[in-house]
Amino acid sequence: MKTIITVVALGLLSSVAAAGVAAAATPAEIAAGEKLATTTDQGNCDACHMFKGADEAGNIGPELKDVKSMVPNRKEFYAIIYDEEARNPQTIMPAFGKNQVLTPKQINEVIDFMYTK
């Protein structure tokens, strides 16, 4: 069931990405991203990264502040979450996309949320 939805999401997203659509994130997408970023068995971003509104955040990764200037390029941001190890072999950041911890849709929601930080 989850797989089917994932596959559909993949199909949808790739068509959106191909069309180069960069519509502003909706409040619902941002809220979904926040939930993913702070949920332990999903994004769990605050286990390692401090960001405003995070409860008991870790400090293994860099603090996520003014994220738009940290990673202005959304594609690059996506690549970091998808598989940072491909860019930096020394990183200990999990490959959330490659290892299917998060779906492409979910990664985009996390990005939408992080761009508000």
Write out the residues near other proteins by the rule CB under 8 A.
1-5, 7-8, 11-12, 15, 46-48, 56-60, 85, 89-90, 92, 94-95, 98-101
Q: Which H, E and C letters describe 51-86, residue by residue?
A: CCCCCCCCCCCCCCCCHHHHCCCHHHHHHHHHHHHH
Angstrom distance (rounded) from CA 21 to CA 16: 6
Kindly tell me which of 13 and 67 has the beta carbon lying closer to other proteins: 13
The torsion region of residue 56 among left (phi > 0), alpha (psi -120 to 50) and beta comes to left
Least CB distance to other proteins at residue 105 (A): 12
Q: By C-beta, is 3 or 69 nearer to other proteins?
A: 3
Residue type, 38: T
We find the least distance from the C-beta atom of residue 46 to other proteins, in angstroms, to be 7
Cβ proximity to other proteins: between 56 and 66 the closer is 56
Amino acid present at 70:
M
CB of 100 to other proteins, least distance (A): 6
Q: How far is the CB of 68 from other proteins (least distance, A)?
A: 25
Cβ pair 67, 115 in contact under 8 A: yes
Q: Which is nearer to other proteins, 11 or 72 (CB)?
A: 11
